[in-house]
């Protein structure tokens, strides 16, 4: 596979290779046996909601990846979950949806993306030929300048107006760098490409090396985006921005005030929607719950799901109080948040500490804490190592004073 780097440091590959890269992204999803199988089915519902938004907005790469993830999860990976035999009815419904809706939509997306990539590839080749012609002309002029005054002979005439007309409308559209890991076009410098990996590939992925041959994602520069190392992130190398209404914390503290006065924690679910590749928290859902001075447990989860289904909301994290302590994540909080962040890499944990008038916006460290907590089998309050860090302040959030949070209080 020919491979090079353009003047922005981006690796470049051919159209079929770009499609294999997208398919590979969609194939990378893992199932943790310790996460209830119902969480994966909720995650699948929200995956489709986001995919449909991307499709409507014309962000076809992101839509393609999410549809592929959905199929990979429910055709292949979910079977490894120990609770899989208990959900046969749901599997039947999902398989029917995949066959009748998701797979045809994904194939149409594949064809549309391939067509676009082919046009960009052809334009790239045309630009490259034009640049070669310009370089030849510059070299001819350099030689003429160097030897023209001393040479009295005559030679073959080389035209000085070499120029290739390029249609401006055909200029390559820059793909989403976070999504494609800076994969754009092919190049001149042949190097061997190792293709490894396996997973669900739709028709059209097969090549000379076999249907399961997948290119390795090239390296890329993360300096301009929030870091996120896990390979199952939607946008490898970055987290989407989460927009939070600025009044969210004040509204929640008012809802929690009666519990706070009794030194009891209160918790709520942060939900919202996707638009223009940003995640907007729009609702706090307060479930029925039982709290203590240092813990809070939700009840009747199906009521939360009903609200989200009715209002087409996706889960974006959770919020809770520390009535008499500072803003931090306890060992129990770390395990609670792990399940949110595994389903949604951008999910945040907001901790309000009214006694100290502080608020923390936290995520598990993607390069260490998330995997560490996912593999920890201890329950209740228990010690964790302080180094490396297990959690950190969120860097991908943005407070918005113009937006107002909405509340659904299921306790009433």
pLDDT digits (tens, 9 = 90+) for 33-73: 888 898 899 999 999 999 999 999 999 999 999 999 999 99
- Does 145 score more than 80 pLDDT? yes
Q: Compute the half-sphere exposure of residue 369: CA atoms within 13 Å on the CB side of its CA.
A: 27
Same domain, yes or no, for 311 and 165?
Answer: no
97 within some domain: yes
> Is 226 domain-assigned?
no
Percent of the chain with pLDDT over 90: 57
Do 211 and 271 lie in a common domain?
no
Kindly write down the DSSP assignment for every residue of 268-290, as one continuous string.
Answer: EEEEEEEETTEEEEEEEEE--EE
State the pLDDT at residue 91: 78
Task: State the sign of the Cα–Cα–Cα–Cα dihedral 230, 234, 236, 237.
Answer: negative
Mean pLDDT, residues 307-329? 96
Residue 250, domain member (yes or no): yes
Return all residues near 292 (Cβ < 8 A) that are at least 6 apart.
264, 265
Check whether residue 34 and residue 150 sit in a common domain: yes
Whether a cis peptide bond, with omega within 30° of 0, leads into 235 is: no
The mean pLDDT value of the chain amounts to 80
pLDDT tens across 88-99, in order? 777 788 989 999
Q: Are residues 184 and 322 in the same domain?
A: no
Domain CATH number, residue 65? 1.20.58.80
Q: How far apart are CA 224 and CA 226, in angstroms?
A: 7
Residues 29 and 120 in one domain: yes
In this model, does residue 276 exceed pLDDT 80?
A: yes
Which has the closest alpha carbon to 350: 318, 314, 322?
318
For 183-234, strand residue ranges (E) read: none
Confirm whether 223 is domain-assigned.
no
Counts for the chain of helices (H) and strands (E), in that order: 10, 13
- Whether residue 234 lies inside any domain: the answer is no
CA–CA distance from 283 to each of 130, 251, 311 (Å)?
Answer: 54, 11, 10
Using the predicted structure, report yes or no on whether residue 86 has a pLDDT greater than 50. yes
Q: What is the pLDDT of residue 150?
A: 53
Percent of all residues in the chain with a pLDDT value above 70, rounded to a whole number: 75
Please report the pLDDT score of residue 230 as a whole number.
Answer: 32
Query: pLDDT tens-digit profile of 207-236?
Result: 433 433 333 333 333 333 333 333 333 544
Is the domain of 12 the same as that of 137? yes
CATH number at residue 314: 3.40.140.10
Q: Examine the domain organization and report whether 36 and 113 are in the same domain.
A: yes
More confident residue, 354 or 8: 354
Q: Is pLDDT above 60 for 166?
A: no
Q: Cα(313)–Cα(281) distance, rounded to whole angstroms?
A: 9
Kindly state whether residues 318 and 399 are assigned to the same domain: yes
Asked if residue 389 and residue 326 are part of one domain, the reply reads yes
| 277 contacts 56 by C-beta, under 8 angstroms | no
273 plus 207 within the same structural domain: no
Measured between alpha carbons, how far is 231 from 197 in angstroms, rounded to an integer? 13
Q: What's the rounded mean pLDDT across residues 160-187?
A: 38
Terminal-residue alpha carbon distance, the chain? 62
In this structure, is residue 231 part of a structural domain?
no
Query: What confidence score (pLDDT) does residue 160 get?
Result: 41
Q: Domain span at residue 349?
A: 242-409
* pLDDT value for 11: 52
203 is a domain residue: yes
Structure confidence by residue, pLDDT tens digits, 334-371: 999 999 999 999 999 999 999 999 999 999 999 999 99
In a domain, 132, yes or no: yes
CA distance linking residue 149 with residue 168, whole number of Å: 40
Residue 107 has pLDDT above 60, yes or no: yes
Phi and psi of 394, rounded to 5°?
Answer: -65, 135
With 0.85 as the threshold, say if the pTM is over it: no
Mark whether 270 and 362 lie in a shared domain.
yes
Q: Per the structure block, which two tokens stand in for 391? A: 């959690």
pLDDT at 240 over 60: yes
**Are residues 251 and 378 located together in one domain of the fold?**
yes
pLDDT at 149: 54
Domain count, the chain: 2
Residue predicted with more confidence, 187 or 393:
393
């Amino acid at each position: 596979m020919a491979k090079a780097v353009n003047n922005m440091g981006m690796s470049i590959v051919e159209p079929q290779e770009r499609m294999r890269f997208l398919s590979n992204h969609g194939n990378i999803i893992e199932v943790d046996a310790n996460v209830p199988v119902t969480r994966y089915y909720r995650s699948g519902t929200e995956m489709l909601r986001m995919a449909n938004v991307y499709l409507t907005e014309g962000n076809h790469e992101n839509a393609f990846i999410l549809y592929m993830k959905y199929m990979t999860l429910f055709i292949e990976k979910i079977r490894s979950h120990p609770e899989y035999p208990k959900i046969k009815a749901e599997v039947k419904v999902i398989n029917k949806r995949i066959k009748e809706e998701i797979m045809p939509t994904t194939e149409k997306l594949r064809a549309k993306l391939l067509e676009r990539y082919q046009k960009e590839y052809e334009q790239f080749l045309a630009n490259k030929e034009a640049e070669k012609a310009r370089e030849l002309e510059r070299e001819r002029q350099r030689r003429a300048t160097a030897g023209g005054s001393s040479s009295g002979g005559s030679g073959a005439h080389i035209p000085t107006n070499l120029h290739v007309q390029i249609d401006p409308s055909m200029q390559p559209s820059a793909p989403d760098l976070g999504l494609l890991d800076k994969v754009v076009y092919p190049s001149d410098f042949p190097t061997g490409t190792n293709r490894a990996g396996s997973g669900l590939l739709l028709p059209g992925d097969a090549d000379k090396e076999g249907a399961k041959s997948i290119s390795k994602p090239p390296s890329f520069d993360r300096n301009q985006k929030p870091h996120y190392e896990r390979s199952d992130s939607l946008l490898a190398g970055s987290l989407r921005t989460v927009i939070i209404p600025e009044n969210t914390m004040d509204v929640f503290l008012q809802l929690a005030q009666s519990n706070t006065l009794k030194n009891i924690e209160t918790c709520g679910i942060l939900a919202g929607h996707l638009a223009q590749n940003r995640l907007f928290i729009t609702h706090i859902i307060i479930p029925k719950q039982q709290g203590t001075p240092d813990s809070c447990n939700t009840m009747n989860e199906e009521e939360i799901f009903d609200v989200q289904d009715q209002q087409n909301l996706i889960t974006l994290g959770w919020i809770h109080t520390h009535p008499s302590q500072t803003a931090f994540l306890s060992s129990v909080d770390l395990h609670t948040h792990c399940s949110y962040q595994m389903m949604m890499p951008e999910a945040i944990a907001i901790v309000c500490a009214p006694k100290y008038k502080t608020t923390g916006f936290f995520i598990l460290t993607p390069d260490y804490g998330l995997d560490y907590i996912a593999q920890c089998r201890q329950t209740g309050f228990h010690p964790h190592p302080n180094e490396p860090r297990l959690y950190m302040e969120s860097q991908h959030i943005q407070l918005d004073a113009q937006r107002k949070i909405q509340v659904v209080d299921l306790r009433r």
